[in-house]
């Protein structure tokens, strides 16, 4: 049982690591100050990240072969489309509203979108702990945003919300793909989805090439591709295998927290007392979704929780948030 608890804790740590890397996207864009459009930048990020991750996942031919099964086609298509659409909508939202607001809106939407998608697609239940911890984390995001009092760009806001929904769709259908096809290797799913999503954006990449001669733009592409895509999606996919989709959706809220702290440490930004309170509330929500179910594992069996047979759509059991 200790091994099970350690495995769940490790999975949560991997998901948090991915969120921290994703939190560097906005600050990196600010530092690079590139003229690349959102679609072109997103396409390069996906292609570089997908190819790098593909090199490492190519050692798992069984996992690649499992993706050719008929039952894998639909969730893999959803993962691919949501990956490409997420890049465009999120980076476009950043360009219209700024990195901080876009990150808060997209990742603030993601947990609710993930929970609703999980309920619709797999029947996964969400309980009081998930509702409370997610509510605390989302409230923390709102407090982080509170100091900025500028008028909100409505299209940018809607684009950020679409990005959050895409995040939820990818999380749920990648989890479903692994549940329905045990041989599937989730990092391989990520590599395929990223590469295919990048190919979808080739028309924008081909017509927006002027900035590719700038060293800062190239450096941004390398960082976004290798660190925030290949490495982050490997961490995310590996963690997703040991957690429920709803838990991962809430843990993703570490991204705006990381972005806010990087703004202070790397960009010289200042956080008000309200914003620091938001950071504390966010940390509390993340801890609530990460730790209580680890303690719960010592009181449950791998096949039953509270006298109820577990739902196979939300395996492994330790990832469920009740």
Q: Are 188 and 64 in contact (CB under 8 A)?
A: yes
CA-nearest of 257, 241, 240, 258 to 249 is: 240
* Residue 309 φ then ψ, to 5°: -65, 140
Asked whether the beta carbons of 30 and 220 are under 8 A apart, the reply is no
Q: Please give the average per-residue pLDDT across 289-296, as a whole number.
A: 46
24-81, pLDDT tens digit by residue? 887 787 788 888 888 899 899 999 999 999 998 877 655 555 666 677 788 889 989 9
229 pLDDT above the threshold of 90? yes
Q: What is the pLDDT of residue 205?
A: 92
Instruction: Measure the N-to-C terminal CA separation of the chain; round to a whole number of Å.
Output: 19
- Give pLDDT, residue 109: 73
Rounded Cα gap, residues 243 and 4, in angstroms = 12
Instruction: Determine contact, residues 49/225, Cβ cutoff 8 Å.
Output: yes
Please give the Cα distance from 172 to 262 (Å, whole number): 29
Q: Tell which wins on pLDDT, 193 or 309.
A: 193
- Per the CB < 8 A criterion, the answer to whether 193 and 6 are in contact is no
- pLDDT tens track for 177-224: 877 777 778 888 889 899 998 998 999 999 998 888 889 999 999 999
Q: What proportion of the chain, given as a percentage, has pLDDT over 70?
A: 63
With contact defined as beta carbons under 8 Å apart, do 272 and 131 qualify? no
Q: Token digits for 87?
A: 């890049």
């Amino acid at each position: 049982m200790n091994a099970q608890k350690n495995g769940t804790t490790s999975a949560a740590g991997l998901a948090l690591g991915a969120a921290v890397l994703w939190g560097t996207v906005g600050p990196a864009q600010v530092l690079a100050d590139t003229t690349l459009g959102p679609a072109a930048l997103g396409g390069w990020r996906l292609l570089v990240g997908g190819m790098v991750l593909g090199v490492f996942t190519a050692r798992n031919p069984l996992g690649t072969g499992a993706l050719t099964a008929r039952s894998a086609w639909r969730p893999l298509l959803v993962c691919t489309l949501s990956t490409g659409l997420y890049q465009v909508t999120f980076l476009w939202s950043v360009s219209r509203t700024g990195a901080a607001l876009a990150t808060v809106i997209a990742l603030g939407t993601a947990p609710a979108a993930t929970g609703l998608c999980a309920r619709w697609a797999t029947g996964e239940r969400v309980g009081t702990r998930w509702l409370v911890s997610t509510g605390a984390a989302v409230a923390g995001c709102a407090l982080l945003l509170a100091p900025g009092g500028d008028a909100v760009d409505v299209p940018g806001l809607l684009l950020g919300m679409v990005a959050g929904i895409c995040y939820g769709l990818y999380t749920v259908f990648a989890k479903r793909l692994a549940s329905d096809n045990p041989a599937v290797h989730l990092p391989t799913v990520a590599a395929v989805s990223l590469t295919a999503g990048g190919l979808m954006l080739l028309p924008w990449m081909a017509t927006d090439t002027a900035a590719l001669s700038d060293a800062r733009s190239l450096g941004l592409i390398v960082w976004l591709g290798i660190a925030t895509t290949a490495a982050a999606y490997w961490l995310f996919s590996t963690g997703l295998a040991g957690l429920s989709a709803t838990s991962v959706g809430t843990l993703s809220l570490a991204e705006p927290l990381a972005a806010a702290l990087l703004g202070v440490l790397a960009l010289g930004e200042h956080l008000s007392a309200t914003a620091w309170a938001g950071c504390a509330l966010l940390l509390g929500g993340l801890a609530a979704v990460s730790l209580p179910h680890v303690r719960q594992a010592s009181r449950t069996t791998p096949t039953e929780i509270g006298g109820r047979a577990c739902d196979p759509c939300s395996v492994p059991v330790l990832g469920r948030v009740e």
